[in-house]
Amino acid sequence: MKKRVSGIIALFLSFLVLTGCAGQGNAPHEYVAVYTNSELFINWAETDNKLTGQLQQASVDNNTLAVTSENYSFNGVLNGADISITLSNGITMTGTLNKNVLTLSYPANDGTGTMATIAFKPGSVTDFNQAVDGFQKQKKEKDASDADVSLLMAITEDKLDALQAAGVSFDDDMDSFGSLLKGMQSYYQFLKSYVSEQPLTSGRLDVVSQQLNVLSSQLDNIKNFLDVDSSAFGGSFGYHVQQAQALYAQLGNDITKLQQNWKMYQRLNVSDSPVRADAVSSAIGGAQKQQAALSQRIAVAQQQGDSYHSQGEKIYQTASKYVSGLTASGSN
């Protein structure tokens, strides 16, 4: 049964309950089988034990709630309690009809060589349609409940990340930059003070060169603090910027997710919703505000970091030029 058989087999495997009460006015050859999200309806006309009929399968899509239907005509034979039908897609099903219970079997399409069996009980087209309507209603209620939870979680994530963004500060990093730069300035003044002590012998000039190397190391400290280094005590400025940028991106994801969830939620037309539109709007607006503020703080901090580095470069270049113009005088 390779032609469309997989859909029917899936129905057989997901079978939960059979339904359909043969009420007054039901045709004698109409049967229904109901599943978790699908059902089958079969009916036929009989002439001299020969059958001509239709098999209909309706399925409810778990995501869109759309109902899809597949119809197969068939010819068959009813010989006493034994029945055999061949569908228009080439599938042959055999079984029995005993005391208004119709069972049909065919080779399962799972490679095991076993037979798949489905059981029908009397039911009308009305029963068939009511079951499909019930599936849609049940699925919609579940989706609404899931949407409530998802939307409330999205609002919470938005607010938590916005709160975290509001707490981001680079004040400690700027203090560290200031201390590093102040150290360079002080050492440069110390170098100049040392040079002013005459005579500047060749030995003392060697010491000045070593002092210039110290200034170079201090400049490297500023450069390293600008780099991304999580191993440094408390993390480097570059590492803190990287964390803030990741939080900025997360806020953007939160906002997008919340907006998408809200659109989906509105399409469900949930009654007695625990989620108010103003709460969603407030969460999105708050996150957008904090995201913009965080972006501004990152930009300002990066400019300040670059400025500290430029000032350090200037101190070192000035000191280097100063030292290069010195000549030894007197003896060691």
Query: Tens of pLDDT along 109-133?
Result: 777 878 888 889 998 888 887 877 7
The first and second tokens of residue 115, run together, are 């037979």
The first and second tokens of residue 263, run together, are 């659109």
CB under 8 Å to 161, separation ≥6 — which residues? 247, 250, 251, 254, 287
DSSP 47: E
The C-alpha angle 254, 229, 315, rounded to 5 degrees, equals 120
**Quick one: pLDDT at residue 272?**
66
Mean local confidence (pLDDT), 49-73: 84
Query: Percent of the chain at pLDDT above 70?
Result: 81
The more confident residue out of 22 and 172 is 172
pLDDT greater than 60 at residue 182: yes
**Nearest residue to 13 via CA among 118, 122, 126, 125:** 118
Instruction: Set out the domains of the chain in order of their start, with CATH numbers.
Output: 5-123 (2.40.128), 140-324 (no CATH)
Mean residue pLDDT of the chain comes to 82
Mean local confidence (pLDDT), 30-59: 88
Strands 67-79 and 50-60: antiparallel
Of all helices (H) and strands (E), which one includes residue 76?
strand 67-79
pTM: 0.55
**Quick one: pLDDT at residue 51?**
95
CB neighbours of residue 89 within 10 Å: 16
- Residue 271: pLDDT band by 50, 70, 90 thresholds? low
* Highest mean pLDDT: which range of 21-25, 184-188, 198-202: 184-188
CB under 8 Å to 313, separation ≥6 — which residues? 219
The C-alpha angle 205, 206, 208, rounded to 5 degrees, equals 60
Q: What is the spatial distance between Cα 157 and Cα 162, in angstroms, rounded to a whole number? A: 8
